[in-house]
Amino acid sequence: MKLQPPKGTKDLLPEENEERQEIYKEMRDLFETYGYGEVKTPAFEHFELLAEKSGPQIEEEIYAFEDKGGRKLGLRFDPTVPIARIVASDPSKPKPIKYYYITRMWRYDQPQAGRMREFWQAGCELIGTDEPEADAEILKIANGLLESVTGERFTMKVNSRDISEAIAEEAGATDEEERMELFRAIDKLDKKSRREVRDELMEKDVSVNKFDDMMDQIESENVPKDADENLEKIIDKAKELGVSEEDIEIDLSIARGLDYYTGFVFETFLKGKEDKGSVCSGGRYDSLIGLYGNQEVPATGFGLGIDRLLEITEKKKKEKRYRPADIYVCPVNDEVRDEALRLTQELRSDGFRVDTDLKKRGISKQLKYIDSKDIPYALIIGPREIENEEVSFKDMETGEERAIAMKEMQDYLKELPAIKQRSMKKEDHEDL
């Protein structure tokens, strides 16, 4: 029996989960500052919905399967598609619609650094307006999200599919499918060499001469006349919203391989580690929702790979280990275990994070366990404490010990530093 998780997946233990929850809180705070509401969609969708835009070949890249009723389904690999389904299913929703998500995704890729088969992604979608201010807001949120979570600086490289289409046309790529293959090829250049991409195109019988012509235009920054007017407006609006001029630039090689992009597109790179690849990307997709409904709805948004972001920025884990409780109730012998359990439940009912001994260990082994788990406070209870209606309190860091009357115990505990700090974090979370 294999005891390792399946290939391309990983276990998230309490230490890492606690750190991630703090990151998710920061993300939620920022999204909601801009008026976005969180959505959660099913882990799997009808395969035909997932393949509507990407084509049936997408089955090779995702987890697709038949359920016991013979229905063909697939695990979601891109949150934009189920969100497009939601909007298409109810065209009467007031516009613009602002959704965000922090969720798990699946894709059947070859696992590699920063790229897992099961991964976490955050992002947002702004649906129902085609104004440049909407795209600028997306850039601002992405920029702010990355910097607030990591404390690092990022470069946002932007382009427009209008520009890419114009470059492809000048290179003689008039067939739509051929153009899409060329865009997909250009999108791979941050991961593969130009020769590797050319070889792949030759295998697909796609003109490498047109690819070379497009690359020559891109490298010379020869933008077709008037093709970038709307892109300049988006960049200007993003700067007005507070995106630094140093953090945004036009890059004609940004193509975004997904077929559904129709206008502005962008990729985001950690400054000084551009070779590690993009950690956040997105753009405008005005035609996708129309595939699932009776009318097209303009939309723009982005997705951020959380696992990849944490890996590339080398975000440090907490110096202290995960703390499963703030207080540990220690019965000194079997006679007082029922009273220790009653006290534990009483404190839990009042909102404290409390644990107690479930292995009938002696007091010295209990204290050793508490220390190993970084639990800051112990409440020791024995026959004498019960008789005197008190508990023996021990601060595990300082070693301080004192007797506390039962009737004063809760007020005393609420003022302890570790518990006050935890209460403030809890209140912040409840404000979301």
What does the pLDDT read at residue 432? 35
Tens of pLDDT, residues 204-251 = 777 778 888 888 877 776 666 565 678 989 999 999 999 999 999 988
String of DSSP letters for 304-339: EEHHHHHHHHTPPPPSSPP-S-SEEEEESSGGGHHH
pLDDT at residue 314 tops 80: no
Residue 321 — very low, low, confident or very high, per pLDDT cuts 50/70/90?
Answer: low
Cα–Cα dist 403/25, whole Å: 38
Res 389 pLDDT > 90: yes
**Of 308 and 42, the one with more pLDDT:** 42
**Residue 168: which pLDDT band, with cuts at 50, 70 and 90?**
confident
Confidence of residue 426 (pLDDT cuts 50, 70, 90): low
Question: How much is the mean pLDDT over the chain?
Answer: 88
Please tell me the least confidently modeled range out of 101-105, 204-208, 424-428.
424-428
Picking from 40-54, 108-122, 133-147, 303-317, which range would have the lowest pLDDT averaged per residue? 303-317
| Residue labelled with tokens 């697909």 | 204
Residue 187 has pLDDT above 90, yes or no: no
Q: Which DSSP string do the residues of 25-80 spell out, in sequence order?
A: HHHHHHHHHTT-EE----SEEEHHHHHHHH-GGGGGTS-EEE-TTS-EEEE-S-TH
The pLDDT, as a whole number, for residue 370 is 95
* pLDDT tens sequence across 268-287: 999 998 888 889 999 999 99
Rounded to a whole number of angstroms, the distance between the first and last alpha carbons of the chain is 43
- Answer yes or no: is pLDDT of 387 > 80: yes
Q: Are 309 and 102 in contact, with CB atoms under 8 Å apart?
A: no
| 3-state class (DSSP) for residue 97 | strand
- List the CATH code of the domain at 327-430: 3.40.50.800
Please, what is the angle between helix 161-170 and helix 176-187, to 10°? 120
| Cα gap 64→73, rounded to integer Å | 6
Please name the residues in contact with 362: beta carbons below 8 A apart, sequence gap of 6 or more.
Answer: none
Cβ within 8 Å of residue 139, ≥6 positions away: 156, 158, 234, 238, 241, 243, 248, 266
Residue 178 or 346, more confident = 346
Rounded to 5 degrees, φ, ψ at 9 are: -125, 170
Q: Do domains 14-41+76-313 and 327-430 have the same CATH topology?
A: no
For residue 248, list its beta bridge partners: 156
pLDDT of 318:
47
pLDDT value at residue 430: 43
pLDDT, average across residues 320-330: 85
Considering only 15-19, 22-26, 135-139, which range has the smallest mean pLDDT? 15-19
Q: Where does 14-41+76-313 sit in CATH, by number?
A: 3.30.930.10
Tell me the pTM: 0.82
Q: Which pLDDT score is estimated for 171?
A: 80
Q: Where are the domains of the chain?
A: 14-41+76-313, 327-430
Beta bridge partners, 155, equal 269
Percent of the chain exceeding pLDDT 70 equals 92
Residue 293 DSSP code: S
CB atoms within 10 A of CB 419: 18
